[in-house]
Amino acid sequence: MKVVLKDLTKIFPSRNKKEKQGVTAVDHFNIEIPDGKLVGLLGPSGCGKSTALNLISGLETPTEGKIFFGDVDVTDLPPENRGVGLVFQNYALYPHMTVRQNIMFPLENLKGDAKLSKEQMEERVQQAADLVQIGTLMERKPAEMSGGQQQRVAIARAIVKYPDVLLLDEPLSNLDARLRLQTREEIRRIQRETGITTIFVTHDQEEAMSISDFIIVMRSGRIHQVGKPQNVYDDPVDLFVATFLGTPQINVFEGEVKDEKLFIGDAEILDVKGARNGKVWACIRPEGFIPDPKGPLVCHLNGVEVMGRDSSVVATHPADTAIIRAIVSSESEIDKALDTVSFSLKPYKVHLFDRETEERIRFDY
């Protein structure tokens, strides 16, 4: 089922009565999520991504705007009639029920034509449990299971009704690092097998990038960029998106463009054809540095961290106090005894943003 948000806005009234203006959690969302895709809603804490999810589920009512599932306007539909499955961050499994009872609970509420016989219910429950691979734990209580297993039960409970849209709120944040890797593959697999349009919320860019077909990057209630993970990473529209995506973080310098040339400090670093003159944020991805004794970017070398496959060069630039991290191939020769290290740059890994508006300034290379 395709999900379309039109001018979707949610303003929470202010608690403080003197302040008339409320908090805008979601600010004019316009987006179309194609059928059968896995979409990551990505943003820092408190940016309104969970509110957006709650609006789609119907647990919150929008202040303005419309929500469509397919061609049907569901804005005024109560949550139970929307056909959504929601997995909460803390899973919200009923602690006094077994796995089987938990998964069966939604089916037992079905009324009228949708009502199922006991055998049909058992079958659906087993089917959902097998899909998330917890078929052997059916008689356990949630407290007797690991976080990852509880997560699976929560997903099974959400999909047992065959929802048109599956919503996951921070699905991996309660899991340890190893389980997180495993579970995100699981989510990807379950989504592929069921073909349910899935939207998941996360603040972890790696998580979103790794499994999403699409990511939506948002901050303070506004969508900054939508696109395939790789495209958004390679082609950020503004400084926020550039700095939010990628580990280690992108390196940000105060730079200036003069006569189609980029200067950091007094050094001319790069030809930037087509860029207008002015002060800019010059952002360089860690993998955009090439160690080159004759390179234009001369930095003070703080150290080299060897990580096996590649090395991380930690340096500072005289024009800026911030620490630079460059990821270079472990074969590249860097003389650790020297005080300085020089780099030339891969131009497509360098992004310029206006110092004031933080909008992207494009240039040819």
Partner 1 sequence: MKKNNLKGWLYLLPALLFLGAFMVYPLIDVLIYSIEEGYNSASQTFFGYGLYNYSYVLHDPYFLQAINNTFILVAITVPISTGFALLISLALNSIQKLKDFFQTVYFLPYVTNTLAVGLVFMILFKKTPYSEGLVNLLISWFGGRSVDFIDGPYWAKMFVLCFYTIWVVLPFKVLILTSALASVNQDYYKVAKLDATPRWRVFTRITLPMISPMIFYLVITGFIGAFKAYSDAVALFGTDLNGAGMNTIVGYVYDMLYGNSGGYPSYASAAALILFAIVLTITCINLMVSHDNVQY
Does residue 248 have a cis bond before it (omega within 30 degrees)? yes
Stretch in the footprint of partner 1 (CB under 8 A) among 104-112, 127-135, 224-232, 249-257:
104-112
**Residue 105 within binding range of partner 1, rule CB under 8 A:** yes
Convert residues 273-312 into a mask of x (bound to partner 1 by CB under 8 A) and - (unbound): ----------------------------------------
- The type of residue at 265 is G
Q: Which residues contact 8 (CB under 8 A, 6 or more apart)?
A: 26, 28, 29, 30, 52, 55, 62, 64, 65, 66, 67
Q: Which one, 111 or 294, has the nearer CB to partner 1?
A: 111
Q: Which one, 84 or 283, has the nearer CB to partner 1?
A: 84
Stretch in the footprint of partner 1 (CB under 8 A) among 5-13, 78-86, 170-178, 210-218:
78-86
**Residue 12 within binding range of partner 1, rule CB under 8 A:** no
Rg for the chain (alpha carbons), in Å?
25
Stretch in the footprint of partner 1 (CB under 8 A) among 68-76, 87-95, 178-186, 329-337:
87-95
**Residue 68 within binding range of partner 1, rule CB under 8 A:** no
Q: Which one, 87 or 283, has the nearer CB to partner 1?
A: 87
Q: Which of 28, 31, 16, 117 is nearest to 64 (CA)?
A: 28
Shortest distance, position 96 Cβ to partner 1, whole Å: 4
**Residue 121 within binding range of partner 1, rule CB under 8 A:** no
**Residue 14 within binding range of partner 1, rule CB under 8 A:** no
Shortest distance, position 262 Cβ to partner 1, whole Å: 50
Q: Which one, 85 or 286, has the nearer CB to partner 1?
A: 85
**Residue 57 within binding range of partner 1, rule CB under 8 A:** yes
70, 79, 265, 295: residue in contact with partner 1 (rule CB under 8 A): 79
Query: Judged by CB under 8 A, how many residues of this single chain contact partner 1?
Result: 24
- The type of residue at 286 is P
Q: Which one, 81 or 136, has the nearer CB to partner 1?
A: 81
Q: Which of residues 146-185 bind partner 1 (CB under 8 A)?
A: 157, 161
Stretch in the footprint of partner 1 (CB under 8 A) among 52-60, 186-194, 218-226, 243-251:
52-60
Stretch in the footprint of partner 1 (CB under 8 A) among 40-48, 94-102, 311-319, 334-342:
94-102
**Residue 141 within binding range of partner 1, rule CB under 8 A:** yes
Q: Which of 349, 346, 351 is nearest to 363 (CA)?
A: 351
Alpha carbon distance 108, 124 (integer Å): 12
7, 13, 96, 365: residue in contact with partner 1 (rule CB under 8 A): 96
94, 162, 348, 365: residue in contact with partner 1 (rule CB under 8 A): 94
Shortest distance, position 106 Cβ to partner 1, whole Å: 4
Shortest distance, position 72 Cβ to partner 1, whole Å: 17
Interface residues with partner 1 (CB under 8 A)? Answer: 57-59, 79-81, 84-86, 88, 90, 92, 94-96, 105-106, 109-111, 141, 143, 157, 161
